[in-house]
A and B are shown apart, each in its own frame.
Chain A
Amino acid sequence: MVTKSQQIIEFRNVSFKFKDHVILDNISTTINAGKVTTLIGRNGAGKTTFLRLSSGLLKPSNGDVFLNARSLSDMSSKERALKIGVVQQLPFAPDEMKVKDLVMLGRYPHLGIFAQESKKDILAVEEALKKVECLPLAMRTIGSLSGGEKRKIFIARALAQGADIFLMDEPTANLDLDAQLNIFALLRKLASEGATILVVLHDVNQASIYCDKVILLHECSILAEGTPDQVLTEKHLSDVYNVKTSIFPADEKFPRLVVPVVSN
């Protein structure tokens, strides 16, 4: 999965309204290839909507979302599926479904009219499972997997799609520590290979440590965007979360750390 071209998602003056409620207001930003970009903000700030606009699931009320200068709404579902892989927070899959079959569903945009899998598709699924280090799980059922394993399988499916863009909604929620580290290691690896990655995170420290770019959403618009150092400042965090924080800058031993100050 080596990207030949850089896949860039660009929001140009995007607004989104839902029944007279403004969720996003005049957003313009870029999500670049080869980087892990994160979306941070309060609950209800519009992060999930942003993600759904990025995948083309939703259409903006105003403005447009572009994929390499091509509007997402001009693309068919299949075209988008060939490029964008979405990993939801709690995706449904039948418990009895086998892992290999779930990942194979990712090949749908590649299959012909009768959806017959070819050797190429089977190879793609194997490769995807290998990449997330889950090949031994191939014949297991979804119901028998742990949380972390499930997450990785859904990422494998996105890989099997042949996507170069990965949109993930809280990929480490409810995971054990080791599983969390596993996921981030995978994301960093994918980014280093040229993938375009956008994750929604809640944990500002995870954002600090693992992400190259942070987009801070607050009250329907982007409060700040840039590197974690630039965005996750005491002032911004106080504006958004009403919390005093102490920031410990990175040094040789430790990464940058944001610690909320608890007042008695």
Chain B
Amino acid sequence: MRYLFNNFIGSAYIKIFVALLILITISIFSLSQGYADIHFSTMVKILWEMINSNDHSQISESSKLIITEIRLPRLIASIIVGGALAYSGATYQGIFRNPLADPFLLGIASGASFGIALLVISPWEQNLYIGILTPFVAFVSSGITIVVVLLLARKAGKFDNYSIILAGVALSAIFSAFTSFILLTGGENARPIFGFLFGGFNTITWLKVFLCTPYVLLGGTVIFLLGHRLNILQLDDDQAQNLGLDVEKTRIILLAAASLIAAAAVSMAGIIGFVGLIVPHMIRLIVGSDYRLLLPLAAIFGATFVVLTDIIARTIIEPQEIPVGIVTAMVGGPFFIWLLSSQKRISM
């Protein structure tokens, strides 16, 4: 009797394929949107030339530059950041068996913000736009935060969810407090910190993309290989261990990988909230809680979500720009309300 089981392989690949198709479509649409009026066909020609390393003198230098040095890196960054945050968020939710977990649960956002705050008010010249100091500091601060959190949890005795979350919340609060203090007393000097806190792709460069993407790929690969273990982790620790899963090791490795890609995302584009929290839930409503499917779909939809919100962020009040973190919050808030009122209860 084979009627019991739909073949996992078949339907999953179709769903992933469809999701990718949507992402690609919206990405191409994104390249055509912007303040500068660039005709769709022109945009396609520019991309074609870029791939083939041609050089038609017919297209204006400024149009080419806008597509290849502004819109394209912006698009790639949105995809990577959105995908990373959603991937990380889904993993966090799986590890902690908590629907409210998100990549910033353990203080990555607060730690990075604090690091950036220190950098901004420091007397050194920071070259915040083109320099690599900002991504570097954000990344290192996030890393330090996670390591401290894990060490604190270890000191408490066990690597169970309770200890880790407690340590994360504590550190998060401390760093947030320090950052607020710097904002309060820094005055004008502290202004650039806000840019980081609200997140955005306005000053993204290919350099930043190349610097941060390897970490996303590294962490992403680890999650790709081990993510299915999250299915078993949905049961309690004892069951998981008895079923053959090395619970502590799995938890730490997945946590480290998820934190790595979240830290990379934050270092590229600042704090963008709601993606890591909401996109996994959206996917869960559609395909359920099998992490083998949930994870890749969350990543693809996370990318799509951020590409969409970035289009809104940069076109809705042209020529002004709204930080992306604000747009995701504006979209995320109502979704939360809808979630509350909908009949479907989210389970892990």
The answer on direct contact between A and B (beta carbons under 8 Å) is yes
| Chain A residues within CB distance 8 Å of chain B | 52, 55, 57, 76-78, 80-82, 84-86, 88, 91-97, 100-101, 105-106, 108-109, 113-117, 122, 125-126, 135, 138-139, 161
A138 to B1 Cα, complex, angstroms: 12
**Cβ of B200 to closest chain A Cβ, rounded Å:** 36
State whether B289 touches A96 (Cβ < 8 A). Answer: yes
State whether B243 touches A81 (Cβ < 8 A). Answer: yes
| Chain B residues within CB distance 8 Å of chain A | 1-2, 4-5, 8-9, 225, 228-229, 231-232, 234-236, 238-239, 241-246, 288-290, 292, 347-348
State whether A106 touches B243 (Cβ < 8 A). Answer: yes
**Cβ of B273 to closest chain A Cβ, rounded Å:** 27
Are A55 and B242 also in contact (CB < 8 A) when A116-B8, A117-B5, A126-B1 are?
Answer: yes
State whether B225 touches A100 (Cβ < 8 A). Answer: no
Are A161 and B347 also in contact (CB < 8 A) when A105-B232, A108-B232 are?
Answer: no
State whether B238 touches A57 (Cβ < 8 A). Answer: yes
State whether B239 touches A91 (Cβ < 8 A). Answer: yes
State whether B2 touches A122 (Cβ < 8 A). Answer: yes
List the B side residues contacting A105 at CB < 8 Å: 231-232, 235, 243
Q: Report the nearest B residue to A122, measured CB to CB.
A: B5
A108 to B231 Cα, complex, angstroms: 10
List the A side residues contacting B228 at CB < 8 Å: 114-115
Q: Report the nearest A residue to B12, measured CB to CB.
A: A116
List the B side residues contacting A77 at CB < 8 Å: 241, 244-246
State whether B235 touches A93 (Cβ < 8 A). Answer: yes
Residue from B2, B243, B347 whose CB has the most chain A CB atoms within 10 Å: B243
Residue from A57, A76, A97, A126 whose CB has the most chain B CB atoms within 10 Å: A97
**Cβ of A113 to closest chain B Cβ, rounded Å:** 7
State whether B236 touches A92 (Cβ < 8 A). Answer: yes
State whether A82 touches B244 (Cβ < 8 A). Answer: yes
Instruction: From the candidates A92, A125, A138, name the one contacting B235 in the complex (CB within 8 A).
Output: A92
State whether A117 touches B232 (Cβ < 8 A). Answer: no
A78 to B4 Cα, complex, angstroms: 26
Instruction: From the candidates A96, A108, A138, name the one contacting B244 in the complex (CB within 8 A).
Output: A108
List the A side residues contacting B229 at CB < 8 Å: 115
Instruction: From the candidates B9, B234, B244, B288, name the one contacting A109 in the complex (CB within 8 A).
Output: B244
State whether B4 touches A114 (Cβ < 8 A). Answer: no
List the A side residues contacting B232 at CB < 8 Å: 105, 108
